[in-house]
Amino acid sequence: MKNIIIFASGSGSNAENIAQYFTNNSNVKIQAVFTNNAQAGVIARMEKFNIPCVVFNRAEYKDETFFLNKINQYQPDLIVLAGFLWLVPEFLVNAFPNKIINIHPALLPKFGGKGMYGMHVHEAVKAANETETGITIHYVNQHFDEGEPIFQAKVALTQTDTPDSIAHKIHDLEMAHFPKVIENLLF
């Protein structure tokens, strides 16, 4: 049995997709979703899967002993960031080397770094007149979006694409690829 913890800050569409993907897989269990947002949509999405949500604040997140104890209760084989917006502290990266992954809505190293998430990324891609964009699934280190890439998928862009249409294309790539990459990393 492989255990996953998901970290999410927002609506939880990626977390829900991952939970749905592994629903009937007896070899993988999503033990918990950790969120830094008590109002996050991911909390309601996880109810139908009976996946517990652990809400934490910044002080708890920065408290190495407290936070590692909280995570270790779930014995994760993999920690998956799915729309989680805080920088992962160095103690957590060190405790789980090559066991924390993130998905980014662009082809890193382009359009990464602090503040580059969601529509900010899609607006930057459009402003740069890119002819393609995509997703990058990467290992997490102590810097935003600088960990070693694991997987990238690309999609073509046209002059008529808008940040909203780019977001839809990226969402489709995330839904298609993220769960499969997680599964491949686990086995």
Residues of the chain with pLDDT > 70: what percent? 100
pLDDT for position 156: 98
Nearest-angstrom CA–CA distance, 18 and 91: 26
Give the per-residue pLDDT at 80: 98
Query: Using alpha carbons only, how large is the chain's radius of gyration in Å?
Result: 16
Among 104, 120, 122, 177, the active-site one is: 104
On whether the CB atoms of residues 84 and 12 are closer than 8 A, the answer is: no
Phi, psi of 82 (to 5 degrees): -130, 80
104 annotated active-site: yes
Q: How many CB atoms lie within 10 A of CB 41?
A: 18
How confident is the model at residue 40, as a pLDDT?
97
d(CA 51, CA 176): 22
Q: What's the confidence (pLDDT) of residue 181? A: 98
pLDDT score recorded for residue 144: 95
The domain made up of 2-104+136-153+174-186 has a fold known as Rossmann fold (3.40.50)
Distance CA 138, CA 108 (A): 9
- pLDDT tens digits for 14-55? 999 999 999 999 999 999 999 999 999 999 999 999 999 999
Q: Considering the entire predicted model, what is its pTM?
A: 0.96
Segments of the chain assigned E as strands: 2-8, 28-35, 53-55, 78-81, 100-104, 132-139, 149-156
Per-residue pLDDT band for 58 (boundaries 50, 70, 90) equals: very high
Alpha-carbon distance of 95 to 82, in angstroms, equals 19
Q: How far, in Å, CA of 88 to CA of 143, rounded?
A: 8
Query: For the chain, which residues make up each domain, given as ranges?
Result: 2-104+136-153+174-186
Looking at residue 101, its pLDDT comes to: 98
The DSSP annotation for 111-153 comes to T-STT--HHHHHHHHHHTT-SEEEEEEEE--SSTT-SPEEEEE
pLDDT in tens, 126-148: 999 999 999 999 999 999 999 99
Neighbours of 135 (CB within 10 A): 26
